[in-house]
Amino acid sequence: MSGVFVAGTDTGVGKTLAACVLLHALRRRHARVVGMKPVAAGAVRVGNDWTSDDAMALRAASSIAVPCELDNPVLLPEPMSPHLAAQRAGVPIEIDRIVASYGQLAERADAVVVEGAGGFLVPLSARETGADLAQALGLPVVLVVGLRLGCLNHALLTAEAIRARGLRLAGWICNRIDAHMLQPEDNIAYLRAHLAVPLLADIGFSAKPDPRAVSVHLPPDWA
């Protein structure tokens, strides 16, 4: 496996954290590992340049540095749905361009972790969604589930949408984002049974989670 697409059940479930967890785990197997944030909505200024918090986190977890136009080809100023942010900025989100950037990253790296934006079906334009991007990339998908009330429905619906696109759901990551959730272990057991793919990592609740400290169970075919 040279690449994986990280999808979320919603925004705010910890996709960036999960992607960084995967990057650190893959670095134990490969010399050249890089993260990619194809579409980032919400820019921050660092020195004389503009970037995004997500892109910076992925770069910090990567083992190689690449041009920003490759690991974050679409950077939008405002933190809103990508299709609206792109419309307001006058910047079209072109899936073909993103796929080309991914191809250049794959040539430079042994493994690429691609983090989607928002939920799996987040709009990128009036006609295309994050699912169309995932389908164009054709990568195995890792689903990030933010463990909170309602996550079972969101996780199963997203898994169904992933599989309906003909994509392989390669595993899932549990992120315990609600420290007060009732019966979390029972929810995890239900998802284990019904998602029917490996649980790659179980991220405990933390105000400042460290992706390097999370235990990850990578499948053998990811070697």
Q: Which residue numbers are catalytic? A: 37
102 is written with which tokens?
């991914």
Q: Distance (Å, rounded) from C-alpha 70 to C-alpha 79?
A: 21
Identify which of 33, 40, 38 has the alpha carbon closest to the alpha carbon of residue 96.
38
Question: E-assigned strands of the chain?
Answer: 3-8, 33-36, 39-41, 44-46, 49-51, 74-76, 111-119, 141-146, 169-175, 199-203
Q: Distance (Å, rounded) from C-alpha 89 to C-alpha 142?
A: 30
Contacts for 195 with CB less than 8 Å, ≥ 6 apart:
143, 155, 156, 159, 169, 172
Q: Distance (Å, rounded) from C-alpha 23 to C-alpha 33?
A: 7
Q: What is the distance in angstroms between the CA of the first residue and the CA of the last residue of the chain?
A: 7
33: helix, coil or strand?
strand
165 conformational bin, left if phi > 0, alpha if psi -120 to 50, beta if neither: alpha
